[in-house]
Amino acid sequence: MSKMNKKAVSSNAVGLATMASSIEYIDNYNHWMLEKLRPYLGTSLLEVGTGQGNFRKYFPTVNFYVSIDIDAKVIQRARDRYPNDVFIVADIAEKEFVQKLADHGIDTILCANVIEHIREDTKAIAHLLSVLRIDGYLFLFVPALPLLYNDMDRLAGHYRRYTKEMLANTVGAKGQIVLLEYFNPIGGIGWWVNKFFKHKDLDSKNINWQVMFFENYVVPVSKMLNPCTKGFFGQSLICVIRKKG
């Protein structure tokens, strides 16, 4: 299992409590991230971690869309928004998750900012791969670099931030890694700067301001720099895993 951060993790960080409310409105950032997923996108998509429930709008061509979250309130909110899709209360760290999803014929899994919340992340990834079709793809998006760990990680319930080596070891031999790179260099610098400030609330005015400033003004610059830094630095890590036969 990946090494956990020694700082105390917030025990109340579940569902919408793991993020700033402004996260619902970061379309520029989400489009940039999901560009990395599109070459591997199939016709049936499982989204792990429903959160704000706003990822569905980015996948209008997906025939079958199912999303899971451990927070029942989050799931109900998403069902109200998208009554024609499938939303399930489930925990990817538990065996029941596999039982609930095994027969859905999933060929793509999007797991963005989830496994860092799970103590047994190795087990969680194994469960995800077990519900995926052969030659399907698991897209992982996780916070990067332990040296960036700060109050915002703790408040969000993050047990760890990952290096390339840590994430590759967590995946192990369960799947074939076809893409592994750092993402968002300027966001990484901003996260590092926040180490020097005390944060008590993820939904504070200060954090929401930072999110929207980055969304409106910084995303294009960070996107331009990303090809130069993806090998060694970024706020996040992107990993695409193919399920082997």
| Domains delineated in the chain | 15-242 (3.40.50.150)
Instruction: Provide the pLDDT for residue 194.
Output: 97
Q: Region 196-225: what's the mean pLDDT? A: 96
Quickly state the pLDDT bin for 113 (edges 50, 70, 90): very high
Percent of the chain with pLDDT over 70: 92
> What is the secondary structure of 54-72 as a DSSP string?
-SGGG-TT-SEEEEEES-H
Residue 2 predicted with pLDDT over 70: no
Mean per-residue pLDDT over the chain, rounded: 92
The per-residue pLDDT for range 142-186, each reduced to its tens digit, is 999 999 999 999 999 999 999 999 999 999 888 999 999 999 999
Integer Cα distance of 203 and 241 in angstroms: 33
The per-residue pLDDT for range 218-236, each reduced to its tens digit, is 999 999 999 999 999 999 9
- Among 4-8, 23-27, 33-37, where is mean pLDDT lowest? 4-8
Give the Cα-Cα-Cα angle 52, 170, 117 (nearest 5 degrees). 30
Cut 0.85: pTM above it: yes
Give the Cα-Cα-Cα angle 121, 148, 51 (nearest 5 degrees). 50
